[in-house]
Amino acid sequence: MNTHHKIAVIGLGYVGLPLAVEFAKQYAVIGFDINPKRINELRSGVDKTLEVEPDILNTVLSTENTASNGLFITDLASEMADCNIYIVTVPTPTDALNKPIFTPLITSSETVGKLLKPGDIVIYESTVYPGVTEDICVPILEVQSGLEFNTDFYAGYSPERINPGDKTHTVTKILKVTSGSTPEIAEVVDQLYKTIITAGTHKAPSIKVAEAAKVIENSQRDINIAFVNELSKIFRILDIDTKAVLEVAGTKWNFINFTPGLVGGHCIGVDPYYLAQKAIESGYNPEIILAGRKMNDSMGSYVASETVKMMIKKGTRIKDSKVLVLGITFKENCPDIRNSRVIDIINEFNTYDVAVDVYDPWASSEEVKEEYGFDLLNCNTKLQDTYDGIVLAVSHKGFLDLDITALKSDTCVVFDVKSLYAKHLTDARL
């Protein structure tokens, strides 16, 4: 086994780039992405995901793929030919019917397979259901390379645990699960990650166990959030403040604190569907997982419809009324708009012929236009004088400085999804 590692990281998004940067401090790393725009940005030292600071990125960037360490950025697969470790960090989304889309994973495996040499290791970090690495990806690697699995080349799985926008729990400070296709390779993979992960590693007994552990982490969180979302609906009927209830319940030592809200993003809003799909294929109907997903997917339309009801009670003519939605990213203080469920609020308002402005200083207007088809306001000077409804959908810290009272009409309804504002400033909150 070759102990001199040259690493390729396939996919330079929220997961791949921070990982590539950390490895590049010690190893020669080839960072590969199929998006030319992303490549050009990174080569100029700019990371629009804001996961890597410009000074750190510029420190590790290399202009040569033959350097002993550093990060060489490319969109040419041939530049990865000399690597012996391939780490795949591409997204694993779902389609309109919530079925897994493996296209990025398959395409990446085809690309890597054409480059494989005897002794190489392919490590997957993308979230999948148990069995995908060995049952879907490995056969592609074998076909494309002409090599035999676990004889000529090997595989590993080390699930990503990146929390976008979190500057405390960065990639090196989150314990890393590792695994390999043989005990020997599992140790190689574990030792590799130990060189950069200061929080330590945990070696899983198999690839399937590591895959399963990853997918249930977010499924568990999804179910817990679904529970408090249901509580918020109940307490709203009972005219009880959910936040106050959770604060009181939280005084018990073993109460697990979760807060209601929209559940989107590339993990929590997606991963449970991967596990559910595998369960269904295996003949089991996962009732709790899917019930949690149904509850969380309903919250956007619920917020909008409840806001409309309150507007009607205040005497607002709904058709052609104006509503301001604060935030479009899937979470606070982060530019990531992937699978944002704020769009469900907007779409529901549209069914009532409500005119909707969306303000988010963190999001890219260009990306929002491309992904969701509307023009984003990312400068507060563009806000209307008054609105008939205001929905705080994302708790960006900057929204605390926004004078929402100045944006309210005489009959304005304020729905604070994230309980960011003081209760007396709002008409409702989850």
The pLDDT tens digits of the residues spanning 19-30 come to 999 999 999 999
pTM listed for this prediction: 0.92
Among 83, 267, 334, 412, the one annotated catalytic: 267
DSSP string, 201-248: EEE-SSHHHHHHHHHHHHHHHHHHHHHHHHHHHHHHHTT--HHHHHHH
Residue-range domains of the chain with CATH: 6-205 (3.40.50.720), 206-297 (1.10.1040.10), 299-430 (3.40.50.720)
Q: Within its chain, how far is the Cα of 257 from the centroid?
A: 21
Would you place residue 417 in the very low, low, confident or very high pLDDT band (cuts 50, 70, 90)? very high
Span 75-102, average pLDDT: 93
Q: Is residue 266's pLDDT more than 80?
A: no
Among 288, 310, 278, which Cα is nearest to 214's? Answer: 278
Q: Is residue 396's pLDDT more than 50?
A: yes
Tens-place pLDDT, residues 368-395: 999 999 999 988 777 877 999 999 999 9
Q: What is the mean pLDDT of the chain?
A: 94
Q: Is 412 a catalytic residue?
A: no
Q: The tokens 């060995």 sit on which residue?
A: 134
**Strands lying side by side in the sheet with 85-88:** 61-62, 70-74, 28-32, 6-10, 85-88, 121-124, 154-157
The beta strand positions in 256-407, using DSSP E, are 322-326, 355-359, 387-392
